[in-house]
Structure 1
Amino acid sequence: MPSRRHALLAYAVPRVRRAREMTDEPAERARVEAWHRTLDRSSLPTRMVPRFEQRWSVVTEQVEGASGPFPSYVVTPRGKEPHTTLVWMHGGGFMAPIDPFQVRYALRLGAAIGARVVMPDYPLAPEHTWRDSFEPLVGMIARRCEEPGQVVLGGDSAGGGYALALALVLRDRAAVAGDVGAQPSRLVLHAPWVDLTTSTPETDSLDPIDPWLFVGKMRAYALWWAGSPDDLGRPEVSPALGDLSGLPRAIVFQGTRDLLWPGTRLLVDRAEEAGWDLTYVEEDGLLHVYPILPIIPESRRAFRQTLAFLRDR
């Protein structure tokens, strides 16, 4: 049963973030594009990280995307030489920038496993599609995998789906090169958005009970990110529909009060068929991306489970 703190967040978070269904797609596109013009994306949003300047240093690397360069932030603990790299792909429906809560979670996880943290600030929809950042990110992560030490690839929501899509291509290219080590060692996925076709019929039935996500927005954002209906089912966009064999070990967290739950269950079923070593943690009645939400006991439990998974060799 969800905790009282979770119930409070389930009530408060959608209201604080003014979560609501869109009126129509053109109006939503105009709203998001106008919002994007007001954003300052010149630096990593670290205001939710206690004593950030004392604990971490940041180097901004430029990734050459198809539509121009975009930043990737490399955050390293001061006074340490980490031998692990955590690449964290942020969520936000592919249309929202990195959120301070995502930074706080990624750095907390990085500190716990002794890692530098890499957070790409990839170009957003609707102005951009997956094609503007996918290949450059594959190359960036592949170069990280060639460095000494382990690479953990993870993400939340849309970022979790993006991380899995990148892992599929990294696996394929490692196989061609005959070097299975040239890919991440583990995957950590929180409520990953892995089926942008919304092929699971149960999705619509969850719309009334998910206080945060909305079916209309989800379908609009999916098409923005894909760029065309023909690309919605591609594994680079909907990785749950791709070949899941031979992927690194993974852990997936999912609450059932979440529109993405049916897509995640599809992923789990297909992973079992493919023989992919995937640890699935499902929590009844919990919100979207509950493991990165603050102050709730469920997120603390998920953090312990994540650390146990990453430390299990």
Structure 2
Amino acid sequence: MTQDQRATARGMISKGDPSRSPAQQRDDFDAVFGALPLGDDVTLEPRSLGGVPALDVKVAGAEGDGVILYLHGGGYVIGSARTGANLAAPLARRTGLQAVSLDYRLAPEAAFPAAVDDALAAYKELLEGGREIFVAGDSAGGGLALALVLAARREGLPLPPAVVVFSPWADLTLSGASMDTRGDFDPLFSRAHMEAYVDHYLAGHDPKDELASPLLADLTGLPPLLIQVGTAEVLLDDSLRLAAHAAEYEVDVSLDVVAGAPHVYQYNVGLMDEADAALTRAAAWLTQRGFGGAVA
């Protein structure tokens, strides 16, 4: 990325005060990411999916039989289906698949396992439609995507054919070395931020629960997994260790690391070359497996 692009990306984000209330943090996040332009070819339509509010992210020409279930990031405390649409839309555009972004319940009002329950309910309804479903998510939504697959496996449900996660938060025990060694490089988070999110979401529940920390789970039988991460983030080791752990369980895993890129740098699509390239690679990874076909 150019220096100007790096400055633009960093200018969109900054380390907030982790002591601010969830409501204040949501307002801050929505002010930056809640109304980013999606493109003239995108229409958002509210719907219910398994009793959970969601948005159909309709991209002109993306009419493939498969569907992307997108799970937004935000530490299980902030974010929304609308912020998730910022990444669901370019994925749909590049794959030709339809997409839906889920408004799962947030903590602390709805603590663990509410988000997992909502994602599973939505997934079950999509399964009833008979279409191929693949799951994608960023940050906490990336961890939730993995938790959803584990929950589906536990219930004996068909698993998605592929999973894509951007900078996944997969270890709520916060044991990765980068939680401390990358704190000065990460323009968005520090250990204090992640500890606050853990407190809100788990509300005292064991962080070693596999549905809270999929990194610690038995990953036997998981579908092909694509992980994308930047090096300028405290969650770097979640991705590195997740890839190694998945490989130990014979999961088909691909790891994509971009030097100097911040947390979920894909949000900077149209502003940062690496963001556009990463989303294009993610779409190609899916289409190589027989899902979708780019429309633009």
Task: Please indicate, yes or no, whether the TM-score normalized by the shorter chain is above 0.5.
Answer: yes
In structure 2, relative to structure 1, the CA distance for the partners of 1:38 and 1:199 (3 Å cut) is closer
Q: Which moved more, 1:161-170 or 1:112-121?
A: 112-121
Q: How does 1:119-268 map to 2 (within 5 A)?
A: 119-174=101-156, 182-228=158-204, 230-268=205-243
The number of residues matched between the two structures is: 286
* CA distance in structure 1 between the aligned counterparts of 2:194 and 2:25, rounded to whole angstroms: 18
Give yes or no for the alignment of 1:49 onto 2:25. no
In structure 2, relative to structure 1, the CA distance for the partners of 1:71 and 1:232 (3 Å cut) is same
Counterpart position of 1:3: 2
In structure 2, relative to structure 1, the CA distance for the partners of 1:142 and 1:183 (3 Å cut) is farther
* CA distance in structure 2 between the aligned counterparts of 1:238 and 1:130, rounded to whole angstroms: 12
Give yes or no for the alignment of 1:280 onto 2:252. no
* CA distance in structure 2 between the aligned counterparts of 1:255 and 1:231, rounded to whole angstroms: 28
In structure 2, relative to structure 1, the CA distance for the partners of 1:100 and 1:8 (3 Å cut) is farther
Max Rg structure: 1
Counterpart position of 1:105: 87
* CA distance in structure 2 between the aligned counterparts of 1:288 and 1:246, rounded to whole angstroms: 28
Q: For the aligned residues, what is the CA RMSD?
A: 2.6
Query: Which secondary structure does the structure 2 equivalent of 1:253 belong to?
Result: strand
Using the TM superposition, give the Cα deviation of residue 130 of structure 1 relative to its aligned residue in structure 2, in angstroms.
2.4
Give yes or no for the alignment of 1:312 onto 2:294. no
Using the TM superposition, give the Cα deviation of residue 188 of structure 1 relative to its aligned residue in structure 2, in angstroms.
0.7
Identity fraction in percent: 26
Using the TM superposition, give the Cα deviation of residue 141 of structure 1 relative to its aligned residue in structure 2, in angstroms.
0.5
In structure 2, relative to structure 1, the CA distance for the partners of 1:257 and 1:149 (3 Å cut) is same
Aligned with residue 55 of structure 2, among 63, 66, 73: 73
In structure 2, relative to structure 1, the CA distance for the partners of 1:287 and 1:47 (3 Å cut) is closer
Counterpart position of 2:293: none
* CA distance in structure 1 between the aligned counterparts of 2:246 and 2:184, rounded to whole angstroms: 28
Q: TM-score, normalised by structure 2?
A: 0.86
* CA distance in structure 2 between the aligned counterparts of 1:131 and 1:110, rounded to whole angstroms: 28
Q: Is the 8 A contact 1:223 1:232 kept in 2?
A: no
Q: Is the 8 A contact 2:50 2:124 kept in 1?
A: no
Q: How does 1:80-99 map to 2 (within 5 A)?
A: 81-98=63-80
Deviations 1:209-230 (A, max 9, x none): 11111210111101211121x4
Deviations 1:46-83 (A, max 9, x none): 6512225xx4351411644xxxxx41222334687541
Query: Which secondary structure does the structure 2 equivalent of 1:76 belong to?
Result: strand
Give yes or no for the alignment of 1:20 onto 2:10. no
* CA distance in structure 2 between the aligned counterparts of 1:6 and 1:36, rounded to whole angstroms: 26
* CA distance in structure 2 between the aligned counterparts of 1:89 and 1:211, rounded to whole angstroms: 23
* CA distance in structure 1 between the aligned counterparts of 2:38 and 2:195, rounded to whole angstroms: 33
Q: Is the 8 A contact 1:254 1:264 kept in 2?
A: yes
Counterpart position of 1:61: 48
* CA distance in structure 1 between the aligned counterparts of 2:199 and 2:189, rounded to whole angstroms: 16
Query: Which secondary structure does the structure 1 equivalent of 2:13 belong to?
Result: helix
Q: Is the 8 A contact 2:219 2:246 kept in 1?
A: yes
Q: Is the 8 A contact 1:57 1:78 kept in 2?
A: no
Using the TM superposition, give the Cα deviation of residue 274 of structure 1 relative to its aligned residue in structure 2, in angstroms.
0.9
In structure 2, relative to structure 1, the CA distance for the partners of 1:301 and 1:39 (3 Å cut) is closer
In structure 2, relative to structure 1, the CA distance for the partners of 1:307 and 1:219 (3 Å cut) is same
Q: TM-score, normalised by structure 1?
A: 0.82
Q: Is the 8 A contact 1:47 1:100 kept in 2?
A: no
Q: Is the 8 A contact 2:62 2:93 kept in 1?
A: no
Using the TM superposition, give the Cα deviation of residue 197 of structure 1 relative to its aligned residue in structure 2, in angstroms.
0.5
